[in-house]
Amino acid sequence: MANQFRLSNNLDYLRFVLKRNRRFMILMTSAMVVLYPVLVLTISLINPQVNVNNLRPVGQVFTLILLIVSALTIPILTLGYMNSKKHLDVYHALPIKHRDLLSINIIAAFVLMLIPFTIAWFLGGVVSLSLDFTLMDLGMTWLGSLMIVSAVMSILIFTLMHTGTSIDGLLYGLVLNFLPILTYGAYIAFSAIVLLGFNGDYIARYVGIIFPIWSIFENVFEIEIRLWDHILLNGLYWLIISAILLALSHIIYAKRRHDKAESPFTNPYFFPAVSAVVSVVLIFLMYAGFYTLSEGNNQNFFNPLNFIFPFFFTAVIYLVMDVISQRSFKYLYKAMLRYVFIAVVGFGLLLGGLASKGFGYITRIPDLDDVTQIAFRFDDYQNFVLPVQLNNNYYMTNQSDFIFTDEKGIAAIHELHEVILNEYKWINYSNRNYWSYPNGLVNTIEDSAGYKKSYEDFPYNASSYEGSTVYTSITYTLKNGSTISRSYNIPYEWTLSIQDLAYNPAVIRAHALALFADVRYPYLKQISLTNAFSDAYVNLDPTFFDLESFRQVYTADFNRLGELGNEAMVSPTAGYVKFNQCRMDTLTSDCTESKILISERHTETLAYLKTMDRDFPAFGSGSDYKFLLFLPDGKDDDFTFYMPIGQNTWINQWGNYSKLGQYSSTYVELSKEQFELIKNYTTNIGILSEASYSLRVGKKIGSASQSDGQFNQYEFFGNALVLPEYKDEVEALIQDLPRIIITDPYQFMNLKQ
């Protein structure tokens, strides 16, 4: 009987709270409906051609903003009685347990938020349904959004347990909602400025698990940077946090100093704790920002002037917070003393982080035996180090991201990381200019007293000019499941250790992009065999081409060649297999095109292609082509005389650059007949140990009139190198041809008629 009476009282009180706040609910429902379903429906009726998939996100954004506003304001309405002594006396006199009173008001707050959002979300979803947004998507986004926004509301409710006025509850509720992202921002800013090797590639994925307001939008729009890619998984995470906060709120409510209502804080430790954390975060954030503004002056991290602005700026913010909390200037001097103590702690942590190189972050490298996988990115767009057949098609998966799980691959990248740390240790970590802007870094390091080189040199000039760098990131996965991630801009000279990975199984995607096409392009519409040097082609019938069988034989050849080593695998190019893959089952839709190089050593692949009853076509007419043979000088040879590259790779590096950036190159022009003889002696795969002749074939793409005559314009792709055993024969063939020396790297692309 007692339980029945208790339940009846609780339900009556719940109805009372809902009825009292119904006007707010009506207003919020009206606003959400107008800004989502009405907006989408009206524009669709005015312009039936408009894509509803472009309208829906606009309405959803407006509705989610209002949902967040509701989560931050409704608890003030339902729990506002806690901030009035008069109201507390009345409410606590009701025949309802204090714990039940809090629970009912929280339930009422959630219902007041739930009803407007549900009406607007489902009405808007129904009028904007499409193939890309089904009823399932509608339900999932609705449920996920409510689960996440419950955390926003719970943080505010938790704050109200410590404050004595509604304005303080709202203000500090916002502070606690934004404090995690502010702290994370300070960590990112400090790390990016101070820590050599800090990898920012993955920082955005963690925002959604520390900042619920962002997580709501991230979840609904399925942003790819999410840590977890399932709507309900993200929602469940925040729902658990919400439940924990509400449980703590019930515990604190039972012990709350209700006699402190109408004063700023009912918990005397709340403001000191929050303000201290905010101040320490600001110290780190202001230091990073101020150093960034003045880092061009080649200054040390420990320059005392770098600490002046962060100290006084944070002091002003702290004093303002204290005055607001006290509602008076009476305790300003005491606040100054408290800030001095906070500043000592904050700057102690800052100096500790600087002196310890990020508490060991900079110099940490995992033991090789603990590594199970390495995610490796190497943005060698010019193929200075790795002759991978980059297609530069933005539709496709990034081709410079590789996952290594084999011992050889892991060891090579681990060795590169050791080289990086061994070289950087010769400079002062406390001066960002040494490692953030590495022009001339190699010379700076080598001039250090007692310097010992930790890497082997390339046999050729690895970079175009002094100071050329390459971006690389290394993410280790360890046996215990944890990860360590670092990124650097490093001189090319340090990277020889990874050249043996050019034909590692992990990089096959970069050589044969079409075999690993993005899932957005599932339809194979055209296949052709193309000549090794021209655009001559013959088509294959896609209906009889088994892509999986081709993938298997090509992979077998690729792995076998990789075991031979870079120099042993060199062989003439048979031609290319060209793929045209589309988003839809029609060639008029969005499509992407790529080629795969096939050499004479790809025996299993060639055998499979023979079953298609087609051969690689002949070169064809040479009337629109230029045939140039570039000659190494044997002194300061460029990487292009060692690194053969296929036609399917974009490359705009064509000759010798000195370390000072001065260009010079020598070539001879071949006839079609001479080209036909020499092409059989060339290779487009592997890496040579000695410089060799570079054969370039350019196709005419236009003409232009200049002051000194009419010029033809040519486009060159690929870099075929003469096999070492045929160099003497080629030398005899070209010995009487005139040598042409150019000092403009693009001069040979513009040839006079």
Q: What is 365-421 written as a DSSP string?
A: ---GGGEEEEEEEE--TT-SS--------TTSPPTTEEEE-SHHHHHHHHHHHHHHH
Contact between residue 28 and residue 66 where contact means Cβ atoms under 8 Å apart: yes
From 342-346, 586-590, 615-619, 699-703, the region with the lowest mean pLDDT: 586-590
Burial 632-671 (b: 16+ CB within 10 A, else e): beeeebbbbbbbbbbbbbbbebbbbbeeeeebbbebbbbe
- With vertex at residue 258, the alpha carbon angle to CA 255 and CA 262, rounded to the nearest 5 degrees, is 140
Strand 663-670 with 694-706, pairing = unpaired
From 452-461, 512-521, 549-558, the region with the lowest mean pLDDT: 512-521
Listing DSSP states for 622-677 in one string gives -TTEEEEEEE--SSS-BGGGT--B-TTS-----SEE-TTS-EEEEEEEEPHHHHHH
What's the whole-number mean pLDDT along residues 184-212? Answer: 86
Q: Band of the pLDDT at 748, cuts 50, 70, 90?
A: low
Amino acid of residue 10: N
Query: What is the Rg, in whole angstroms, of the alpha carbon atoms belonging to the chain?
Result: 34
From 53-57, 185-189, 226-230, the region with the lowest mean pLDDT: 226-230
Cβ count within 10 A of residue 679: 20
List 717's β-bridge partners, or say none: 697
Beta-sheet strand order (sheet of 523-530): 537-540, 523-530, 573-582, 591-599
> How far does CA 520 lie from the centroid of its chain?
20
Cβ count within 10 A of residue 735: 8
Tokens linked to 467: 């100071």
Q: Band of the pLDDT at 653, cuts 50, 70, 90?
A: low
pLDDT of residue 344: 95
pLDDT of residue 433: 66
Q: Band of the pLDDT at 159, cuts 50, 70, 90?
A: very high
From 143-147, 543-547, 679-683, the region with the lowest mean pLDDT: 543-547
Q: Band of the pLDDT at 240, cuts 50, 70, 90?
A: very high
pLDDT of residue 581: 80
- For residue range 299-334, list pLDDT tens digits in order: 778 888 889 999 999 999 999 999 988 888 888 899
Give SS3 for 46.
helix
Owner of token pair 């729990």: 79
Cα end-to-end span (Å), the chain: 106
- CA-CA distance, 404 to 476, in Å (whole number)? 10
Contact between residue 101 and residue 91 where contact means Cβ atoms under 8 Å apart: yes
- With vertex at residue 160, the alpha carbon angle to CA 154 and CA 165, rounded to the nearest 5 degrees, is 150
pLDDT of residue 389: 55
What's the whole-number mean pLDDT along residues 214-221? Answer: 89
Contact between residue 501 and residue 386 where contact means Cβ atoms under 8 Å apart: yes
Long-range contacts formed by 345-352: CB under 8 A, 24+ apart:
345/276, 345/280, 346/279, 346/280, 346/283, 346/284, 346/314, 347/283, 347/307, 347/311, 349/280, 349/284, 350/190, 350/283, 350/284, 350/287, 351/302
The pLDDT of residue 669 is above 50: yes
pLDDT of residue 399: 52
Q: Band of the pLDDT at 393, cuts 50, 70, 90?
A: very low
The pLDDT of residue 744 is above 80: no
The pLDDT of residue 26 is above 90: yes
Owner of token pair 């989560």: 71
The pLDDT of residue 398 is above 50: no
From 215-229, 430-444, 538-552, 688-702, the region with the lowest mean pLDDT: 430-444
What's the whole-number mean pLDDT along residues 219-241? Answer: 84
The pLDDT of residue 657 is above 80: no
List 631's β-bridge partners, or say none: 666
Report which of residues 626 and 391 the model is more confident about. 626
- CA-CA distance, 237 to 177, in Å (whole number)? 16
From 26-40, 174-188, 650-664, the region with the lowest mean pLDDT: 650-664
pLDDT of residue 140: 92
Report which of residues 648 and 639 the model is more confident about. 639
Compute CA distances 272 → 165, 324, 532, whole Å. Answer: 17, 13, 73
What's the whole-number mean pLDDT along residues 181-195? Answer: 89
Compute CA distances 259 → 248, 269, 587, whole Å. Answer: 20, 16, 75
pLDDT of residue 662: 58
- CA-CA distance, 749 to 348, in Å (whole number)? 61
- With vertex at residue 602, the alpha carbon angle to CA 599 and CA 608, rounded to the nearest 5 degrees, is 115
Q: Band of the pLDDT at 437, cuts 50, 70, 90?
A: low
pLDDT of residue 27: 95
Compute CA distances 85 → 82, 508, 689, 690, whole Å. Answer: 7, 72, 87, 89
pLDDT of residue 392: 43
Long-range contacts formed by 464-469: CB under 8 A, 24+ apart:
464/382, 464/653, 464/657, 464/661, 465/657, 465/658, 465/659, 465/660, 465/661, 466/439, 466/440, 466/442, 466/659, 466/660, 466/661, 467/438, 467/439, 467/440, 467/441, 467/491, 468/384, 468/492, 469/438
Strand 694-706 with 401-404, pairing = unpaired
Q: The dihedral of CA 14, 15, 20, 21: what is its sign? A: positive
What's the whole-number mean pLDDT along residues 524-529? Answer: 87
Compute CA distances 287 → 295, 301, 305, whole Å. Answer: 11, 10, 10
Closest C-alpha to 245, from 304, 178, 177, 189: 177
What's the whole-number mean pLDDT along residues 353-368? Answer: 86
pLDDT of residue 499: 87
- CA-CA distance, 442 to 30, in Å (whole number)? 66
Q: Band of the pLDDT at 397, cuts 50, 70, 90?
A: very low
- For residue range 55-99, list pLDDT tens digits in order: 899 999 999 999 999 999 999 999 988 888 888 888 888 888 888
- CA-CA distance, 508 to 431, in Å (whole number)? 40
Phi, psi values for residue 612, rounded to 5°: -85, 0
Judged on CB neighbours under 10 Å (0-12, 13-18, 19+), 269 is: exposed
C-alpha torsion 648→650→654→659, nearest 10 = -130
Please compute, for residue 387, the number of CA atoms within 13 A of its CA located in the half-sphere on the CB side: 27
Provide the percentage of residues in the chain whose pLDDT is more than 70.
88
- For residue range 498-511, list pLDDT tens digits in order: 888 888 888 887 77
- CA-CA distance, 356 to 371, in Å (whole number)? 25
- For residue range 467-507, list pLDDT tens digits in order: 678 889 999 999 998 889 999 888 888 998 888 888 888 88
Closest C-alpha to 507, from 453, 421, 566: 566
Closest C-alpha to 530, from 465, 615, 601, 456: 615
- For residue range 325-343, list pLDDT tens digits in order: 888 888 889 989 999 999 9
What's the whole-number mean pLDDT along residues 267-280? Answer: 94
Give SS3 for 475.
strand
What's the whole-number mean pLDDT along residues 545-552? Answer: 88
Q: The dihedral of CA 338, 344, 347, 352: what is its sign? A: negative
